[in-house]
Structure 1
Amino acid sequence: MFRSLCLIAALAVMLPLPVDAADPKPNFVIIFADDQGYGDLGCFGSETIQTPNIDRMADEGRRFTSFMVASPVCTPSRAALLTGCYPKRVGMHRHVLFPHSAKGLHPDEYTIADHLSGLGYATACFGKWHLGHHPETLPQQNGFDTYLGIPYSNDMNHPDNKGKPKLSSDELWRNQSTAVTKWNTPLMRNEEIVELPVDQRTVTRRYTDEAIDFITKNIDRPFFVYLPHTMPHIPLYVPEDVYDPDPQNAYKCVIEHIDQEVGRLMSQLRDLSLSDNTYVIYTSDNGPWLQFKNHGGSAGPLRAGKGTTFEGGQRVPCIMWGPSRIPAGTVCDELVTTMDLLPTIAALTDSTLPEENKIDGLDVSETLFSDSASPRTEFVHYSSRGNIEGLRQGDWKLLIKPAKGKQNSLKSPNVMLFNLSEDIGEQHNLVADHPDIVARLKKRMRELDTEIETNAREPWRLRSP
Structure 2
Amino acid sequence: MSPYEKKLSRRAFGGAVGATATATAAAAALGVPGATAAEAAAPAERPFRADTRSRSRRPNILFILGDDLGWADLSSYGSPHIKTPNLDRLARQGVRFTDAYAGSATCSPTRFSLYTGRFPGRTEGGLAEPIADRSAGLDPNHPTLASLLRDAGYATALIGKWHCGYLPDHSPTKSGWDEFFGNFGGALEYYSKLGLGGEYDLYEGDVREGDAEYKDLRYYTRILTERAGDYVRRDHGGKPWLLNLNFTTPHWPWIADGDEEESAEIVRRVKAGEKGALRHQDGGSVEKYTEMVQDLDRSVGKVLRALQQSGQEQDTLVFFASDNGGERFSYNWPLSGNKSSLKEGGIRVPTLVRWPARLRGGQVSHEPVFSPDWTATLLEVGGARPHPAYPLDGASLAGYLLRGEELAERELFWRVRGERALRRGDWKYYRGKGGKDQLFDLGADRREQADRAADEPKLLGELKAAWERTDKGLLPYPAA
1:90-101 matches, within 5 Å, as: 90-91=123-124, 92-98=126-132, 100-101=133-134
1:182-197 matches, within 5 Å, as: 184-195=199-210
Q: Residue 242 of structure 2 corresponds to which residue in structure 1? A: 224
Cα distance change, pair 275–441 in 1 and its aligned pair in 2 (3 A)? same
The count of corresponding residues between Structure 1 and Structure 2 is 405
SS at match of 1:137: coil
When structure 1 is superposed on structure 2, of 269-278 and 374-383 the one drifting more is 374-383
1:136 is the counterpart of 2:169: yes
Q: Residue 390 of structure 1 corresponds to which residue in structure 2? A: 421
SS at match of 2:127: coil
State the distance in 2 between where 1:417 and 1:24 align. Answer: 44
Pick from 278, 302, 305 the counterpart of residue 316 of structure 2: 278
Choose between structure 1 and 2: higher helix proportion: 1
Cα distance change, pair 218–452 in 1 and its aligned pair in 2 (3 A)? farther
Q: CA RMSD in A?
A: 3.0
Q: Residue 400 of structure 1 corresponds to which residue in structure 2? A: 431
* CA-to-aligned-CA distance 1:213-245 (integer Å, 9 cap, x gap): 122223532111001111111002333299999
Cα distance change, pair 95–177 in 1 and its aligned pair in 2 (3 A)? closer
Cα distance change, pair 320–178 in 1 and its aligned pair in 2 (3 A)? closer
Unaligned runs of 5+ residues in structure 2 are: 1-20, 28-54, 264-283
Q: Residue 98 of structure 2 corresponds to which residue in structure 1? A: 65
| Identity within the alignment, % | 29
Matched to 2:228, the amino acid is A
* CA-to-aligned-CA distance 1:95-149 (integer Å, 9 cap, x gap): 1112x33121101111110011111211110111000012321000010011111
1:163-178 matches, within 5 Å, as: none
Tell me the TM-score normalized by structure 1. Answer: 0.80
1:451 Cα deviation from its structure 2 partner: 2.3
Higher alpha-carbon Rg: 1
Q: Is the 2:68–2:324 contact (alpha carbons within 8 Å) kept by the matching residues of 1?
A: yes
Shift >3 Å, 4+ stretches: 16-24, 176-185, 195-201, 241-248, 369-373
Q: Is the 1:417–1:429 contact (alpha carbons within 8 Å) kept by the matching residues of 2?
A: yes
Cα distance change, pair 378–60 in 1 and its aligned pair in 2 (3 A)? same
Q: Is the 1:334–1:373 contact (alpha carbons within 8 Å) kept by the matching residues of 2?
A: no
Q: Residue 441 of structure 1 corresponds to which residue in structure 2? A: 463
Cα distance change, pair 181–313 in 1 and its aligned pair in 2 (3 A)? closer
Matched to 1:391, the amino acid is L
Tell me the TM-score normalized by structure 2. Answer: 0.78
1:205 is the counterpart of 2:225: no
Q: Residue 254 of structure 1 corresponds to which residue in structure 2? A: 292
Q: Is the 1:37–1:300 contact (alpha carbons within 8 Å) kept by the matching residues of 2?
A: no
State the distance in 1 between where 2:454 and 2:22 align. Answer: 64
1:328 Cα deviation from its structure 2 partner: 0.6
State the distance in 2 between where 1:135 and 1:329 align. Answer: 45
Q: Is the 2:194–2:200 contact (alpha carbons within 8 Å) kept by the matching residues of 1?
A: no
Cα distance change, pair 236–109 in 1 and its aligned pair in 2 (3 A)? same
* CA-to-aligned-CA distance 1:363-386 (integer Å, 9 cap, x gap): 111222365433462111212x3x
Cα distance change, pair 287–185 in 1 and its aligned pair in 2 (3 A)? farther
Cα distance change, pair 382–354 in 1 and its aligned pair in 2 (3 A)? same
1:283-302 matches, within 5 Å, as: 283-290=321-328, 296-302=329-335
Matched to 1:445, the amino acid is W
State the distance in 2 between where 1:414 and 1:198 align. Answer: 51
* CA-to-aligned-CA distance 1:187-217 (integer Å, 9 cap, x gap): 1111111138977762112112111112222
Q: Is the 1:327–1:370 contact (alpha carbons within 8 Å) kept by the matching residues of 2?
A: no
Q: Residue 342 of structure 1 corresponds to which residue in structure 2? A: 375
1:438 Cα deviation from its structure 2 partner: 0.8
Pick from 419, 423, 435 the counterpart of residue 441 of structure 2: 419
Q: Is the 2:229–2:306 contact (alpha carbons within 8 Å) kept by the matching residues of 1?
A: yes
